[in-house]
Structure 1
């Protein structure tokens, strides 16, 4: 890997116009992800939460089932972060397969890894709130250590529900009411009436 070179904020802002496969200092632009939801700067609210959760997960030695966060910066016009390059998500793997199906045995092995990834998120006091196949991604085919590992990602809607204080967990007080968070297709049917811990368990949140 090339030695990283510090660059100015102006250079980074100019990099927004760089195309895939072009070089920027010692970095190569491999892929431009979809722009996150807008705030005062591009991706302001969602990416800050994403960074906070990834930092906690990485600090908690959760390195194999979540992306590693290598760099995160805030600029006047945008936020950005550099994370582990990963492969296809579970939804794409199914739809792109020759038969459009994956065996029950394979799904079982994948599900165990998915549940473990969710467990790691819960262990730092967060709930994901948007569990669905596109948010579980296999390691990149060029990465022999991660290629068979499922990674959970996209923490832009996560919520901090508890904190660990010494030797016990202190649960955050529930709000009287809140708007729906998540993807309708993958949520518990009971969420339309009320959202509580039982419904979160059913939907896998």
Structure 2
């Protein structure tokens, strides 16, 4: 049965956008439309891409933010590359680099469905640097959550984090070249679970609010819960967030997280966070635990890269990967996470001595198989 979100867009696999992008499969859906994996077929170039589609007559368009942010961060290795935007049959579209699985999928790929301390620190350091890049480019994300951090889709980028989904991004308020505190009332944006207290209070969100959301999600991914996890009322969630600060929120975290929390909660909209200090605190935890955060890979990197090698070899040998997927699916009992990046995993790896059509089949097959493998034993957090 087709979900309401999927019914919003009349496109299906096989449709061609602007005579260049062939849709392969829908990989996400939301309030504003849908996102597809697609293949770009040029005269001399072929590549996989992600295409977001939303109706032209939509009151609130997310396309403007998406394009502006990706263009502003084009030189960064932590943001998807922008390819093209435009309109097609009554829909706006944004075409960009297709990335890999989200942090929530990586967390849920194996029991106990949480990040190890090493993974948490290595992720946290990258995430702080990514947010610093975004902020220096002049934007507040306003929806920092595990679903919006993904890894790359090649062997060399399995350990590289990317920030995605800029629909709620907002430029930092400037006057005469200086950051100034907004006087207008804000609105509750983003995900309630990770929203900063300022979001609940309808205060315009600043750079420190992105970092507060990051702190909440780091605790959640490590401890598997937050003090307000079982609460739904926004006012009650705010109350618990304020009561747990400096206490229950961090009681099972390394003590350096207390200083992390103290710093970001001491800031106002116009204050620049001390990103170096925050990175230093996480690095200190790593040093105290004898972790080599610079050289040791994430635990998932070896697993994913091994599977990429297996898929490549099987494809070269002419074996059916879709049959392999069916067999694996029968052996697994999985629950699905409703995440726009849920099946957005693939690699682009040149294969010599095969036809162009076989290349497309290889990449599409790999997109499916890597999705299955990274979500094995998945359960809802």
For the criterion TM > 0.5, the same-fold answer is yes
Alignment match, 1:157: 168
Is 1:119 the counterpart of 2:132? The answer is yes
1:187–1:83 CA distance, 2 compared to 1 (3 A):
same
Is 1:202 the counterpart of 2:212? The answer is yes
Asked if 1 retains the 8 angstrom alpha-carbon contact of 2:149 and 2:161, the reply is yes
Is 1:17 the counterpart of 2:30? The answer is no
Alignment match, 1:84: 97
Asked if 2 retains the 8 angstrom alpha-carbon contact of 1:191 and 1:199, the reply is no
User: Deviation string for 1:55-90 (max 9, x for gaps)?
Assistant: 1111xx11x101001111134611112211111111
User: Deviation string for 1:162-186 (max 9, x for gaps)?
Assistant: 4698xxx432561321221121100
1:31–1:194 CA distance, 2 compared to 1 (3 A):
same
Contiguous gaps of at least 5 residues in structure 2? 1-8, 33-53, 216-381
Give the distance between the partners of 1:36 and 1:47, measured in 2 at CA. 13
User: Larger Rg: 1 or 2?
Assistant: 2
The total of aligned residue pairs comes to 181
Give the distance between the partners of 1:48 and 1:73, measured in 2 at CA. 11
Alignment RMSD, CA only?
Answer: 3.0
Is 1:96 the counterpart of 2:104? The answer is no
Give the distance between the partners of 1:98 and 1:164, measured in 2 at CA. 50
The one of 128, 132, 139 aligned to 2:141: 128
1:39–1:17 CA distance, 2 compared to 1 (3 A):
closer
When structure 1 is superposed on structure 2, of 118-127 and 42-51 the one drifting more is 42-51
The one of 176, 183, 186 aligned to 2:184: 176
Asked if 2 retains the 8 angstrom alpha-carbon contact of 1:67 and 1:151, the reply is yes
User: Quick check: which one's helix share is greater?
Assistant: 2
Contiguous gaps of at least 5 residues in structure 1? 1-14
Give the distance between the partners of 2:207 and 2:169, measured in 1 at CA. 18
